[in-house]
Chains A and B, each alone.
Chain A
Amino acid sequence: MSARKLSELAKTVRSKNAGVDKITFDVIFAQRDTYERVKRARVLTRETVARLYGIPFDRITDFVEFDPANAIKFTILRMEPSGSAGDPDIFGSQHYAPLLDLEVPD
């Protein structure tokens, strides 16, 4: 196997509000071995998320590898509450896109 993009490996990659002050991200895999492969590759960690979105560590409030659902999940704090004037994504529903192109090595 060669390097693959996360969008090719994951069944679901989504983002959504978790309350009014946070956006939560779910990356879910259909197969346990794919999930384990991504976990092993360490391409989706607090560090890579902070780098990808250009945010300090303390804006990542939760980072969980959720085995029952073959899922990696993290949550970030918004700078302003959802729906404040100027907030372009009231539901937080389009913030996952940068994750799609993450390269996962074999």
Chain B
Amino acid sequence: MDSLKIICPNGHLGFAPIRLDSFKLGVAARPHYIAADSGSDDVGPIPLGSDTSTSPLAWQTHDLEHMLLAARGLGVPMIIGSSGDTGSNSRVDLFVRIIQDVAAKHRLKPFKLGYFYSEVDKTDLRSRMRAGEVVAGLDARNALTEAELDATERIVAMADVHPFIELLKQGADVIIGGRSSDSAVFAAPAIHHGFPADQAYYLGKVLECASFCAEPYGGKETVLGEITASDVKVTAMSPAQRCTIASVSGHAMYERSNPFYEFVASGKLDMSACHYEQHSEKTTRITGARFYPGTEFRVKLEGAGKVGERYIGMVGIRDPYTIANIDAVMGWARTQVRERFGDANEGSYQLHYTVYGRNGVMGELEPFKHKPAHELAVLVQGVAPTAEMAEEICMIGTRQMFYARLPEVKGSAGSVAFALDEVLRASPAYRWTLNHTLRCEHPLALFPTHMTTAGAA
């Protein structure tokens, strides 16, 4: 085969539904694969920690149904990576079940459904650590300690191309992947068909966010990537979009700290010598990408741990004197919480204030934090080991703003305005405990593969 064509209809399957018009045009171009990534750590630590999806089941099903019907119609494989936002085992099982349900609903002929898991067992990781393996920190983090491991609810490892290729070798028609590098979802079939890693990982890099590599800006539209032994071509399928030198090279920067390098477990993609040319109106051609295998196979680990139950409250402030003294108002309320529950620094609870109208969005990074607006809204968050304690902390932290004692305030009947005189239960608070890497002896060690069938018996 001289070239391989893959379409990608969605950069984060389930987060918002695919646009069907450009998807149909992509399917009409007769691709050899239909593939999409479904994961993101942008959504914060709650989905991984609580083993849920942030994407609604209806949208996940919508996209999987359209992709499956198109793939089975063309008779080509379909590949999904990082199922259900997090790629945890329960999310893989969920997507496998959706595929089976859709296949039954449409009475599809039987096909091979491959899947793999990415969760890392805490006991297994602990024994590796005790045997001397260093779980190295990324992005200025320290190496993982057993205390941080204890605080972790769930860990997923980031697969490279290997479990996908393993399942393709076994003849999978559909692959539902656990957590995986976005680019691996597309690089895997290209490598499976013998294309060089240089082009294959670049193909993955450019396709992973679907139409974010096209212009004008518009998400969830289908793009088509074509790989040969020496280049990659990427084409926007939406009539309203084009893949241009600017949009494709610009996308290399997106969500990455450095536009020249992309790291996966088996090595790094170097885009510093990439050459971009406008191949035709809607197509950009890219040459010069290089993939350098690493000296060892280091898998990225993501982990999230529960911090506590959470309640939120909200107040408004209009009095300019109170606004000028907002820190004293919050300080008063904090003191009342401290008198009831002790010092937050001792670790038993958290009380957070977010001051909209001053520096609500950027906190300490806000250059205008000394110039508050004429009215403020303050979001109060109380986090504690039990819901009862979180509710009381949030209630004191919110209501005591109303009773704040400012020496020269004119309004002595309440320092803040309530739109709701209540505090509300929010999702529990989680935090990212792991952003680390682990050396693995074998690329499939953490990613067990399975094969089943779907469709009419």
Contact = CB atoms under 8 A, between A and B. Distances in A.
A90 B42 contact: yes
A22 B350 contact: no
Nearest to A78: B139
A52 B366 CA distance: 9
Contact of A20 (B41, B46, B253, B274): B41
Nearest to B260: A64
A90 B381 CA distance: 15
B414 interface: no
A22 to B, nearest CB: 6
- Measured as residues with beta carbon below 8 angstroms from the partner, the interface class of chain B is 35 or more
Contacts of B354: 86, 88
Contacts of B141: 21
A73 B42 contact: no
A91 B41 CA distance: 9
Interface of B: 41-46, 138-141, 245-246, 249-250, 252-260, 274, 276, 302, 307, 310, 350, 352, 354, 360-368, 379, 381, 383, 429-432, 435
A13 to B, nearest CB: 12
Interface in A52-66: 52-55, 61-62, 64, 66
Contact of B139 (A21, A68, A88, A95): A21
Interface string A74-98: 0101011111111111110011011
Contact of A84 (B250, B257, B366, B431): B431
Contact of A19 (B366, B381, B429, B435): B435
A19 B41 contact: yes
A97 B44 CA distance: 22
Interface in A17-71: 17-22, 24, 26, 28, 30, 52-55, 61-62, 64, 66, 68-71
Interface of A: 12, 16-22, 24, 26, 28, 30, 52-55, 61-62, 64, 66, 68-71, 73, 75, 77, 79-91, 94-95, 97-98
Contacts, number: 141
A30 B250 CA distance: 11
A83 B246 contact: no
A30 B246 CA distance: 8
B257 A22 contact: yes
Given A54-B364, A82-B432, A88-B361, A21 B138 contact: yes
A85 B45 contact: no
B421 to A, nearest CB: 23
A12 B350 CA distance: 37
Given A69-B259, A84-B431, A95 B362 contact: yes
A31 B98 CA distance: 47
Given A64-B260, A75-B257, A88-B354, A53 B435 contact: no
A55 B350 contact: no
Given A16-B254, A61-B139, 9 more contacts: A16-B255, A17-B41, A18-B257, A22-B139, A24-B253, A54-B365, A71-B253, A81-B431, A84-B307
Given A68-B276, A85-B350, A62 B310 contact: no
B259 A17 contact: no
Contacts of A77: 139-140
B253 A69 contact: yes
16 contacts: A18-B257, A20-B432, A24-B255, A54-B365, A55-B365, A61-B140, A64-B259, A69-B249, A73-B259, A75-B257, A83-B430, A84-B307, A87-B44, A94-B361, A95-B361, A98-B368
A21 B250 contact: no
Contacts of B140: 21, 61, 77
A83 B258 contact: no
Closest 7 CB pairs of A and B: A83-B44, A86-B352, A81-B432, A75-B257, A21-B139, A85-B429, A69-B249
Contacts of A28: 246, 250, 253
A47 to B, nearest CB: 15
Nearest to B381: A85
Contacts of B44: 82-83, 87, 90
Contact of B42 (A82, A95, A97): A82
Given A54-B365, A68-B276, A88-B361, A18 B45 contact: no
B253 A26 contact: yes
Contacts of A91: 42
Contacts of A66: 249, 252-253, 259-260
A83 B49 CA distance: 12
A70 B431 contact: no
A62 B257 contact: yes
Nearest to B246: A69
Contacts of B361: 88-89, 94-95, 97
Contacts of B362: 88-89, 94-95, 97-98
Nearest to A52: B367
A35 to B, nearest CB: 11
B435 A81 contact: yes
Nearest to A67: B249
Nearest to A26: B253
A93 to B, nearest CB: 9
Contacts of B259: 64, 66, 69, 71, 73
